[in-house]
Amino acid sequence: MAKPFPTDNPFLRGYYAPVNVEADGAHLQITGEMPKELCGTLYRNGPNPQFAPRGPYHWFGGDGMIHAIHIENGNVSYRNRWVRTPKWEIENKEGEGLSGTFGNPLYTDPRVMALNSTIANTNIVWHGGRLLALEEAHAPFSLDPATLMPVGPKGGYETYGDRLCGPFTAHPKLDPVTGEMVFFGYSAKGRFTKEISIQNVTADGTVTRAEILDGPYSAMIHDFAVTRNWIVVPVFPLTGSMERAMAGKPPFAWEPDKGTHIAFIPRGGTVADVKWVSAPPSYVFHPMNHFETADGKVVIDVMKYDVAPLFPLPDGSPSAPQTPAARLFRWTFDLAGQGNTFKEEQLDDRAGEFPRFDERFCMSDYRHGWIVSGNVAAAGAQRIEGITHYDLATGRNTTWNAGANDRFGEPIFVARNDDAAEGDGWVLSVIYRAEEGRSDLAVFEATDLAKGPVALAHLSSRVPAGFHGNWRGGPL
């Protein structure tokens, strides 16, 4: 029998509370005018636990649910579905939760342990004719773009002909010039191991690189950077430990004394050619963009935390007296000079997260970026959120806020057309309306946020707090 969810966890209440209904809406009500040029689907992924978990719950550990919002000829439709992973299937059959967060073996049923199942709850990307639901400990999970049901000969898992050599990040990088997808995976040789897989897949689904990098220690590595010549993998001191997990202590914990270590691997070489740069302890969930300058320097714009949020110290005590916040920084590395140093420049002092940009300019110098402004890691705290646009060429920025307790989803850029100039298009964000307990899809002119949404598509239900999504152009 399904048990009630705990009421003392802020990531199971309000905006974060699970929804237990899968729904379809063919014609959403619209305020304003939906741009006629918009034709495609916004796919968004996030944790939505089907059942109350065993043991302590962490926001990152809920079952994946895909929210698909399709826009065509001014009409907007909506569909949400849980990702039918092996874990989801067995728990759905049993009618109760059978696992702990992150598959903690102290709380997880042996039947679920044996499945070694993805939860596919972090991101969703379109590549090589496949819609892939991603997390960061397993292979991608392939879904039908219209029905959101699993497809493929392996029940949903996409293993590229069994050529993957390790887990698959939730944040692969797509080369807009070659169509290649570059990705990594931490704990590549088993749970809480220090090795990192480095892999490439061509636009037609052929694995061209599958290597293992030896890392300095086991760490949660959420995202990375890729430029024309380098794969950049940062190892921050948010460490993983099976010994801690089995002792009932935090599986992942903040250990700043281990420092930060950043690997630079040549795209045209191998892991044997890696260059390491040491840095003070910090944490980055997400970079914005990453590119090389004309004189060969590597530039990475990041949302940097001084202390990793959402995770404690190894003994379980808080890592900071208040929830840390991320701010936008630019890191510049001169690998031809003194390779073990880098320059850091703070670009803005506001708190924010979920940085996005016009990804046609991935791996190139760029001008426009967008974030959710506000300390999004502070689940139970009062905070003001908005969408902020950065013009990096002029140094100007613009923010649009909604209601005092409204919450914003990741801002996703959609170009007006394939040939549009950088930033010419729209930004899409799913906004939770706190007072009404439901959500809207908001469409903004990308470089004129100040005038507010040009159109809102209204849901009568709530899209719970999630992580990442992407736009796939064209009819379903």
Q: Where is the binding site for Fe cation, in residues?
A: 171, 222, 286, 468
* CA angle, 209 then 215 then 217, to 5°: 150
Q: How far apart are CA 137 and CA 103, in angstroms?
A: 11
Binding site, by residue number, is 171, 222, 286, 468
| Cα 255 from Cα 277, distance rounded (Å) | 18
CA–CA distance from 464 to each of 48, 59, 61, 64, 436 (Å)?
7, 11, 14, 11, 13
DSSP reduced 3-state for 214: strand
Query: Taking the mean position of all CA atoms in its chain, how far away is CA 249?
Result: 26
Helix (H/G/I), strand (E/B), else coil: 339: coil
Length of the chain as a residue count? 476
Separation between Cα atoms, residue 296 and residue 230, nearest integer Å: 11
Cβ pair 44, 67 in contact under 8 A: yes
Residue with tokens 């963009």: 289
- Exposed e or buried b per residue across 320-350, where buried means at least 16 C-beta atoms within 10 angstroms of its C-beta: eeebbbbbbbbbebebeeeeeebeeeebbeb
| Strand 283-292, strand 275-279: pairing | unpaired
